[in-house]
Amino acid sequence: MALAEAGARGRLLRWPRVLLFGDSITEYSFQENGWGAYLAERLVRKCDVVNRGISGYNTRWAKLILPRLITESTSADSIVAVTIFFGANDSALKELNPKQHVPLEEYAANLKSMVQYLKSVDVTADRIILITPPPLHEPAWEKACLAKGDKLNRSNATTGQYAQACVQVARECGTDVLDLWTLMQKNQDFSSYLSDGLHLSTKGNSFLAAQLWSRLDNKLSALPSLLPYWRDVDHTNPEASLL
């Protein structure tokens, strides 16, 4: 009875949310030293960081899922930031990986469609960050492909075209963009950012986390910590502090 009364008296606690939407590089981001885990640690008590990374997916499939993740009536109002991080699979070479490949023009259209959908449910452009695919280190990825009995099915030059398209979509839609493909290649030995030529290493995760945080910090720094610090709770009358 006491718990029911407390629930009736107190306001429902709703944490704001940061939604990470992407492929395996996002799905793996909550692993040890992952970039998503870094964000979650920085934003604890302020935001829920929600991982909606889906390994192997491309933008053709992602745009079908997005309306099932965010709807105006149920969740858009609580979202303070969304990352859209696709392209590593879309840019797979058509002749060697037709299932994941998405043509460049369609990739750009799909990204634009997802941004437009978010805007339609009142997730404004300033809360959306597009992330380009990282560069591909072909020797390492070829080794990973050969181990599975496959041929090298991606190229860094092609991935770069998709990264440029992502940057252009962000420019046209008025969103922020993190051009990972370009930024990582400022280091001549960018292979150290990648664990297998495609996915991020610990160093790559750290690099992405720092780059992303520099963009999110201004957006989220003003958010308050939810619930008072324990020393500030009135222990003689906790209801006064907590309800």
Nearest to 199 by CA among 149, 154, 165: 154
Cα–Cα dist 161/182, whole Å: 11
User: No. of H helices and E strands in the chain?
Assistant: 10, 5
Alpha-carbon Rg of the chain, whole angstroms?
20
Catalytic residue among 192, 196, 201, 206: 196
**Following DSSP, what letter does each residue of 14-44 receive, concatenated?**
---EEEEEESHHHHGGGSTT-HHHHHHHHTT
* Inter-helix orientation angle 156-173/104-120, to 10°: 30
Contact 80, 71 (CB under 8 A): no
Residue 49 tokens, joined: 């960081």
Give the separation between CA 146 and CA 151, rounded to whole angstroms: 6
CA 45, CA 13: separation in Å to the nearest integer?
Answer: 11
Going across the sheet that includes 79-85, the strands are 48-53, 17-22, 79-85, 128-131, 176-178
Q: For this structure, is 196 an active site residue?
A: yes
d(CA 149, CA 161): 27
> What is the C-alpha to C-alpha distance for residues 23 and 85, in angstroms, rounded to an integer?
7
Q: What integer pLDDT is reported at residue 74 of this predicted model?
A: 65
Side-chain half-sphere of 193: how many Cα atoms within 13 Å? 25
Burial class (CB in 10 A: 0-12, 13-18, 19+), 102: buried
Domains of the chain: 17-218 (3.40.50.1110)
Please report the pLDDT score of residue 10 as a whole number. Answer: 60
CB atoms within 10 A of CB 224: 8
pLDDT by position in tens, the chain (length 243): 466 565 555 678 888 999 999 999 999 999 999 999 999 999 999 999 999 999 999 999 999 999 999 987 666 778 999 999 999 999 999 999 999 999 999 999 999 999 999 999 999 999 999 999 999 999 999 999 999 999 999 999 999 999 999 999 999 999 999 999 999 999 789 999 999 999 999 999 999 999 999 999 988 878 888 888 899 998 999 998 888
Tell me, yes or no, if 214 is annotated catalytic.
no
Which amino acid is present at 155? S
| 80, 16 contact by CB (below 8 A) | yes
Say what the pLDDT of residue 226 is.
Answer: 87
Q: How far lies 177's CA from each of 39, 82, 96, 104, 155, in Å?
A: 17, 11, 29, 18, 22
**Structural element, H or E, at residue 118:** helix 104-120
Provide the whole-model pTM: 0.92
Catalytic, out of 24, 113, 192, 206: 24
Q: Does residue 199 carry a catalytic annotation?
A: yes
The encoded tokens of residue 72 equal 């105006």
